[in-house]
Every structure is written in structure tokens, then in C-alpha cells.
Structure 1
Amino acid sequence: MALLNRFDDPGTEKRYVTSERAARIPASRALILIGIATFLTYITLNPMHFPREGVIAYNIAAAVFMAVLGSFYLLTLTRFYLEKPWVDLLLFAALTVAMAMLIEALAAQAAITGISRFGMAVINMGILVVFAGIGFVATTRLYLVWAVTLLLLYIAFLIQTDRAFISKVYTLTNFSTFFVFATFVNWDIDRRARNTFAANEALALEKAKTEELLYNVLPQEVAARLRAGEAVADAFSDVSVIFVDIVGFSGLARTLSPGHLVKTLNRFFLLADQCAERHGIEKVKTIGDAYLAVSGGTASSGGGAQSAIAFARELIGETIEIAEQEGVDIKVRVGIHSGPVIGGVVGSSRLAYDYWGDTMNIASRIESVADHNGIAVSAATYYQARPHFDFAAGETLTLKGVGETEIYRVKL
């Protein structure tokens, strides 16, 4: 970060300025109210000590000053203040004029206050410079423009006054102390705020990357529940489970080189993911050369059995194209069964939202009797989807671990 703090990227600079000005509004308002309260106190006390003309002159200058402070306060209530930092320069230019009027009003009462015009200038301009060091928010460059201009005007004021040289030197030294202190405060506050903003931006970026990675593994709703410390376990009464398996994968593995095999497998799973996204199907996981998905689960947006079969039909079509383009004998079998499942997340590492129940096992068994590049479904799935697809006549087959099961084959 340069001596004059500024982010290289204009977008980052704009976000910083807006956020920092919003964050510092309470402090700015507090200073404004303190200033107004101070003037009101003097306006109350002055008539006890100042002559009438002195009270009038002070009250006019104080009214101008308070009017500018009041405008400052009102501006902090607007979006304009956040997005137009140059307004600080106008505000403090107006405050400088008001302060000069105040100094002149008080200088006329030097015999009563015991403070000379020189002393009033040092004290009041010093206070203004310190206030500006805090009031210029996220605009160190603009603060320096204002402060250096004020310093030059003050030097010009000293030069034209009829005072001893040593008196002018001490007066300038006293004022310069305020100037240097306020300048450092403004610069250091801005520097620290920029460092904090940059750290928060980096943290937010890493958080976004982490969340994106998490959402690639878990549905967003599930991820939110896990972050809240909630145990994730859900019951679903009617989910269509889709089990896709590559036929003869072991033979394919012996035929293709490892690199070619992985490339082909990756292309197939990528296409499966794309098909799933188009049909609102929720991918659960890959198991070796098998692809497990559901329609009607936590992250599904499809229409149950209908979407499940539409997904399977498109995936088979894509598989046929892969086989033609790659010149490899790759086919798939798809089994679909609809019924109740339990979903949830278990364990503490490599988290994934998984599903359990007989519906999962039955879908796997039905897949084993599907035709090559064919879809077999259970009776439960058939009755849900038959208005939308053509099916072959039902068959009663004995499935391992399930027993006699009625299945239907989708006509492609």
C-alpha cells in the first residue's frame, strides 16, 4: 500500500470508501453533536460576560458554524454522503470560513477573555484541524488538499501581522503540532481501516470458495443445517431412485489404457451431471462405474418418476454418442424404483448427503435386469410415469435379495 493509501483496483477502492464511510458515521455524528453542544453552552454563557455587540457577533459566527455542522449531520443520513467523498472538502471549506468568523468575533473580546487574536487562531484552527483529521473519512488525499491549503493561509496570516519574528515562529510551531498530529491520525486511521478491509475481502473470498466447494458436495439447505450444528436426517415418502451402471466395465478397463479409460469415464459422468441438472435430478454419488441419483430428494427440482425416466432416456442417448465418437463399446443399464427413503449426513470427514432404505437396494437390483442401453422400472415407478411414456408389458422376475418383482421396460 502506498504512502497515500489507495487500492489499485477502482472497484475495490469504491467498495472500501463506501463501507468505511458507513462504518464511521456514528463517530462523525457524535463529534458533530459535541461541537453543537459546545457552541450552545458558550451562547448561554457569553451574555454574562460579553457586551451586547460581542454576543451578537459571536452568535452569528456560531450560528453559521452550527448550520454547517447540521448540514454535515443531515448528509450522513443520505446515500450521497457515502458515495460522494468529495463532499468532505466542501464541508470543511465551509467550516473554515465559519471558524474564521468565530475567531474574529472572539478576538474583539480579547480584553475580557485574556486570549489574543493570535492565541484564538492557534486554538480554534488547531481544534478544526484535529476535527478534520477524523471528519475526512476514507479521503486522506482530500484531507491533505484542505489541510495544506489551510496551513498556507495560516502562514500568510502570520506574515502580514505586526508581531515579533520569534512570536510568529512559536505560533506557527504550535499550529504545526496540531497539523502534524491530525494528519498522522487521519492517515493512520485510513491505513488501518484499509488493512482491515483488505483482510475482510480476502476472508470473504475464501469463504465464498469454501461455500462453493461445500455446495458442490452438499445441497445448500443441508450445508446450512450442518453449519448450525444440526443433525441432518430426513424421511421421504416417495423418491424415485435412479441406478445407472456401465455394462462390461471390467472388459473395457482391460481394453483401454488407464488414461483413455479415465478420460472416457470422466466424460460419461460429466454428461450424467449435465443431464441431471437439466432434469432437476439430484446426483447422490458415483460408485466405481455406477451413477446413483434421485428425483424428489432434498436438492431435486424435477417431477419424480417422470423426470427420472426423462433423465435416463437422455443419458442413454448421450452414451450412444460417446461410444460412436470415442470408438469404444460403452453401454449402460438403468434401473428406477420409487418409494420411501431416509436421507442424511453421517460422519465428520468427506461429508456427503446420502440416502438409505430398501428403495435404494431395489433400484440397484432392477438395474441388473435392464437391457443394454435400456431402462427398467418397478411397478411403483411405472404407475406414476405411464401417462407420459410407453412401456413394454410387465414381467415378473426374481431379483436377488428382493424376490419376485414386477418390472416394466421403457420403450425408447
Structure 2
Amino acid sequence: MLGRFEDPDTERTYVEGERLARIPGTRFLAGIGIVTLLSYIGFNPLHFPREGVIAYNLAAGIFIAALVGIIALTFTRFYVERGWVDMLIFTALGVAMIMLIDALGDQAAITGISRFGMAIINLGILMVFASVGFVATTRYYLAWAGVVLVIYLAFLVQADRGIVNKVYTFTNFTTFFTFATFVNWDIDRRARKTFAAGQALELERRKTEELLFNVLPPEVAARLREGQAVADSFSDVSVIFIDIVGFSKLARRLSPGMLVKVLNEVFSIADECADRTGVEKVKTIGDAYLAVSGGQASGDRGAGEAIAFACDIIRSIRVFAQETDLDVQVRVGIHTGPVVGGVVGSRRYAYDYWGDTMNVASRVEGIAQPGGIAVSESTYLSARTAMPFSGAELHTLKGVGEVKIFRIDRASVCGEDEGPIA
């Protein structure tokens, strides 16, 4: 019935957030009470005797002081974090209200309202005020309101009135009680539903962001969220193309399910190698794997890291082939040059790269031997001081023309037993 959240942290977050949000309303209600009491303080001397004015002003002064205290308290974290303070606040207001009822009851001959009537009117007003003033603490409100109801019942029992009058009076007061209780419960119920919906929405937003960050660099994801067009230019990126050798033959030998499983394991190995060497995976294209070194998410990497990544994946795939007894090999082509990177389209976001450098890298990969690494002249010039290469070979690449190709000495660079690949 009270609808408390099972998780204590969630409950605390809700209560604090709701109390913080409703502080302006609490101050407004307290302000209305202060203005009302001040108006009566100014009006009463025109009709009440001096003793009655003093008694009323004393009770009203205490009430106003309590309301001012409420307003001051709302400026503190204590009010936000300690919901039980509402019990103390409205207990103090209850005492002040009883004093007001007593002072006004003494003036029944002038006002025409008995102490009996004053009690039901003023305590009813306090009950309704409390239904809004108890913020996100329905159980505290019910405890406080229950005590007030018992006190009022005790007042009726000892009053010099007939049983019928007492029954009708108590029924009238319980109408205030029921209405105020429903208001407090319904406000809290609706607020909890809104909070739960907000929590669910925030959870989905985080999942969406996490998914976005899994496919895009954080800076790119942030720019997309802000509605910016994502287009970047890079002057010196090493593009790495990796292809599975003899994939068509492998596809004929394996069932579709097994083939997909092998592809997944090979690409997972490539992902792990990319993480170890700091290069940036771009995408898979059929049985090919595309990565870059020096792009959006790998700006501090270069040709050396690209070659280290190629060596790592060749070694790892060799181990995989031995463990699975599958004839799986890869070949790697690397070319270094300018590219353009960015995100296009509005669905299935991916940060991609374009430019002639991408095309050349794919052609260079076609020249590499199974289990080997071939690089273009630009990559060779970037990494030649750090590692040994074979001599230059002239090759004519489709759509590119005649280019110099260099091969990696795997025995020296990749730490393998085999000699250089010819």
C-alpha cells in the first residue's frame, strides 16, 4: 500500500529527490499560513478584548515561528535527507494550532463559533496542510495523522456534548482525515510511478549509450548526441587489411553453423590482438577484417603498431589452427596515407574511413603470402628504422598502378621460427 521501493538506495534517492523538488511548494504553503495569521493579528484587535488579542497573538506568534522555521529548514540538506523531520515539524504546528483553537474558543461569544467548531475547522485545515507538507513520507504522515485523530477523539469524549453531536462531529472530522490521507497517498503514489519511469528511462539511456560507445569512440558518440556532423581528416593513417586464406574452400568443407563459429573465433582473436596493440578495429567485410592505426581512436599509434598487430594476429591464428586442426591462415596488407573518417546514415552507426589509402591497402593485402605481411612503400618508410624488411618488389595493382611492395621478416619482427616470406 505504501509502495516503498525494495532497494534502500533507490528509496533514499526517491525521497531526497522528491523532497528537493517540492521545496518551493512547501515554502509557498508556509508563506500562505504566515500571511493568513498576520491578517488575523491585524483584524482581531478591532473585535476582540485585550486579553483575547494577547492570547491569540501568542499562539499565532508560535505558529508563525514554526512556519518560519520550516522555511529556514528547507534551505538545509538535513531537511532533504531526513524525512522523519516532518513528524517534528507538524507536531510543533499541532501544538500551536491547539493553542490557537483554545484562544479562539474563548471568544466564541464574539465569533459565534464554539471551541468545538473551532477544533474541527482548524484541525481539519492542519490535516489537509499536512497531507501536502509530508513530502515522500506517507508512513510518517499516517503515524502523525493517527495520533491527531486519537487526540481529537479524546477531546470529543470528555466534551460536554450529546452522543449524537459527538458522532456527527467525529464523522465530519474523519472526512477531513480521509480526504487528507488520500491526497498524501495519491501524491506519493503518482510521484513514485514517475520516479520509477524516470529510472527505467535512465537505465535504457545508459544501455543505449553503452551500446553506442561499443561501436563508436567516446568523442564521436558525444558529438553525435549533440547533433554534430562527424567528419574528420587524418594525414597519416596505417590501414590494415586482413583476409582469411582459402575461405571459399573452408566454406565448402564446413556446415554453415560451423563456418560462422570459425569466423567468429577468428575475428574475436583479431579483436583481442587489436586491444593488445592499441590499433582500432573498423569493421569486418565478409571474411576480411579492417583496422587502422593512427585514426580517431588510435591517434597516437603508427605503422609500427600496425605491423605489431599483424604479427600478433598471425601468431594467434597459427595457435588456433593447431588447436582446432583447421587449415586456417591469414594474410595482411598495410598501407599508410591520408584518409577521411566519419559517421554517415541515421541507423546502425559506425565510424568508417574512406579514401584512396583504403583501396591501396586492400590491393596490397592481395599480394601478401599466406601467413605473411606485405606493406606499401609509405608504410616501409614509416617503420624501416624500427624493423627489417625484404627488398622492394615492383607490383602492378589494379586501379592503382605500379607500386613498391615490401615484406616483413617474420623471424626478426614477429619472433617466428620461419624465415622471411618470399
Task: Please say whether Structure 1 and Structure 2 have the same fold, judged by a TM-score greater than 0.5.
Answer: yes
What residue identity is the alignment partner of 2:31?
L
- Change in Cα spacing, 1:409 to 1:57, as seen in structure 2 (3 Å) is farther
Q: Structure 1 residue 107: deviation in Å?
A: 2.0
2:397 is matched with which residue: 380, 389, 399? 399
- Change in Cα spacing, 1:164 to 1:213, as seen in structure 2 (3 Å) is same
Q: Structure 1 residue 304: deviation in Å?
A: 2.7
SS in 1 for 2:340: strand
What residue identity is the alignment partner of 1:295?
S
CA–CA distance in structure 2, aligned partners of residues 324 and 32 of structure 1: 79
CA–CA distance in structure 2, aligned partners of residues 93 and 164 of structure 1: 30
Matched residue, 1:120? 118
What residue identity is the alignment partner of 2:40?
Y
Instruction: Give the conservation status (yes or no) of the 8 Å contact 1:362–1:402.
Output: yes
Runs of 4+ in structure 1 over 6 Å off: none
Instruction: Give the conservation status (yes or no) of the 8 Å contact 1:280–1:301.
Output: no
Matched residue, 1:145? 143
Matched residue, 2:56? 58
CA–CA distance in structure 1, aligned partners of residues 311 and 50 of structure 2: 96
What residue identity is the alignment partner of 1:150?
V
Matched residue, 2:406? 408
- Change in Cα spacing, 1:381 to 1:52, as seen in structure 2 (3 Å) is farther
Matched residue, 1:324? 322
Instruction: Give the conservation status (yes or no) of the 8 Å contact 1:394–1:408.
Output: yes
Q: Structure 1 residue 311: deviation in Å?
A: 2.3
Q: Structure 1 residue 301: deviation in Å?
A: 5.1
Q: Structure 1 residue 227: deviation in Å?
A: 4.5
What are the equivalent positions in structure 2 for 1:334-345 lying under 5 Å apart?
Answer: 334-345=332-343
Q: Structure 1 residue 396: deviation in Å?
A: 3.4
Matched residue, 1:239? 237
What residue identity is the alignment partner of 2:109?
A
What residue identity is the alignment partner of 2:193?
N
Matched residue, 1:33? 31
CA–CA distance in structure 2, aligned partners of residues 64 and 341 of structure 1: 76
Percent identical residues = 66
What are the equivalent positions in structure 2 for 1:164-313 lying under 5 Å apart?
Answer: 164-300=162-298, 302-313=300-311
CA–CA distance in structure 2, aligned partners of residues 150 and 188 of structure 1: 20
CA–CA distance in structure 2, aligned partners of residues 318 and 75 of structure 1: 66
What residue identity is the alignment partner of 2:397?
L
SS in 1 for 2:369: coil
- Change in Cα spacing, 1:187 to 1:301, as seen in structure 2 (3 Å) is farther
Structure 1, unpaired ranges of 5+: none
CA–CA distance in structure 1, aligned partners of residues 371 and 64 of structure 2: 83
- Change in Cα spacing, 1:85 to 1:275, as seen in structure 2 (3 Å) is farther
CA–CA distance in structure 2, aligned partners of residues 387 and 164 of structure 1: 109
Instruction: Give the conservation status (yes or no) of the 8 Å contact 1:265–1:289.
Output: yes
Indicate whether 1:376 and 2:386 are aligned: no
Q: What are the superposed Cα offsets for residues 286-319 of structure 1, whole Å, 9 maximum, x if unpaired? A: 0111101122223335423233223222222221
- Change in Cα spacing, 1:45 to 1:300, as seen in structure 2 (3 Å) is farther
CA–CA distance in structure 2, aligned partners of residues 82 and 383 of structure 1: 65
What are the equivalent positions in structure 2 for 1:352-371 lying under 5 Å apart?
Answer: 352-371=350-369
Q: Structure 1 residue 240: deviation in Å?
A: 1.8
Matched residue, 2:2? 4
Matched residue, 1:96? 94
Matched residue, 2:156? 158
Q: Structure 1 residue 135: deviation in Å?
A: 0.9
Q: What are the superposed Cα offsets for residues 68-124 of structure 1, whole Å, 9 maximum, x if unpaired? A: 222322332233322221221222122211211222222223233332211211111
CA–CA distance in structure 2, aligned partners of residues 288 and 171 of structure 1: 84
CA–CA distance in structure 2, aligned partners of residues 407 and 103 of structure 1: 100
Alignment root-mean-square deviation, CA: 2.2
- Change in Cα spacing, 1:408 to 1:83, as seen in structure 2 (3 Å) is farther
Instruction: Give the conservation status (yes or no) of the 8 Å contact 1:281–1:302.
Output: no
Instruction: Give the conservation status (yes or no) of the 8 Å contact 1:280–1:302.
Output: no
- Change in Cα spacing, 1:383 to 1:169, as seen in structure 2 (3 Å) is same
What residue identity is the alignment partner of 2:197?
A
CA–CA distance in structure 2, aligned partners of residues 33 and 404 of structure 1: 86
Instruction: Give the conservation status (yes or no) of the 8 Å contact 1:6–1:13.
Output: yes
Q: Structure 1 residue 328: deviation in Å?
A: 1.3
Q: How many residues align?
A: 410
What are the equivalent positions in structure 2 for 1:105-116 lying under 5 Å apart?
Answer: 105-116=103-114
Q: Structure 1 residue 54: deviation in Å?
A: 2.8
SS in 2 for 1:329: coil
- Change in Cα spacing, 1:183 to 1:300, as seen in structure 2 (3 Å) is same
CA–CA distance in structure 1, aligned partners of residues 51 and 294 of structure 2: 85
Q: What are the superposed Cα offsets for residues 251-284 of structure 1, whole Å, 9 maximum, x if unpaired? A: 2222333333222211111122233234332221
Q: What are the superposed Cα offsets for residues 213-267 of structure 1, whole Å, 9 maximum, x if unpaired? A: 3333333443444454444333222222111111121222223333332222111
What residue identity is the alignment partner of 1:296?
G
Structure-2-length-normalised TM-score: 0.90
Instruction: Give the conservation status (yes or no) of the 8 Å contact 1:5–1:140.
Output: no
